[in-house]
Every structure is written in structure tokens, then in C-alpha cells.
Amino acid sequence: MSKDIIIQEQGVDQDLDGVEKLVIKKYGSSATGDWLPEDETVLTPLTITKNGTYEPGEGVYGFGTVNVRVQIVTGRIDGVLTRITVDDNGYLVFTEVQEEVSQT
């Protein structure tokens, strides 16, 4: 949906009709980005349970609230097999895991 907007350039109003988005230079960078009117941006909540890359779907501008719930990670810390989980308060919990002995 387009909007009629006014942008001030060197203190002079510039009336622009039918603007869908503006491509603007990002502050302190040579990169550019799109500016959209706030009332036309759709943000969706997201819950993540696996590592990976997540992109907003069609018609969605970005993510609002993001909850990350990666359940269990097991690896070696200082040579000790350790399971890392997150408790109900969001704190990491480190638990030493007994190594299984393979039977040959």
C-alpha cells in the first residue's frame, strides 16, 4: 500500500505521492536498507527449537518476539563429556555424563 509522505531536505519540504518504500543509506555505513511505514510492517513471533537459519515468510517483514529453546547439547569440556541444558529460569546447567563402554 502506498502513502503520501513529506520529507524535509535541507529545511525544504518535499511532497512525495504514492510511496511504497524508501531505500535509505544506513547510518555510519555505505550499505542501504528499506524503510517502510510502521503501520505496514507485519512482525510475527517465532519459537526456535533447532539450530538453523530462519527467514520471515511471505508478507512478513520480520520477527517480533523470538524464543529460543534448544533443548540439549552434549560435548566435551576440558575432556569431560558434558550435557548442557537450560533450566526454567533460563540458566545453563552443566551435567557430567558417564561415557558408555562399548562391548566388543
Strand partners, 12: 9
Q: What is the pLDDT of residues 25-55, one digit of tens each?
A: 888 888 888 887 777 788 889 988 887 888 8
Task: Tell which residue, 12, 13, 32, 10, has the closest CA to residue 23.
Answer: 32
Predicted confidence at residue 81, as pLDDT, reads 92
Chain centre to alpha carbon of residue 48: 10
Q: How far apart are CA 43 and CA 36, in angstroms?
A: 13
Predicted confidence at residue 96, as pLDDT, reads 92
**Highest mean pLDDT of the ranges 10-19, 31-40, 85-94:** 10-19
What is the pTM for the complete model shown?
A: 0.42
Confidence of residue 104 (pLDDT cuts 50, 70, 90): low
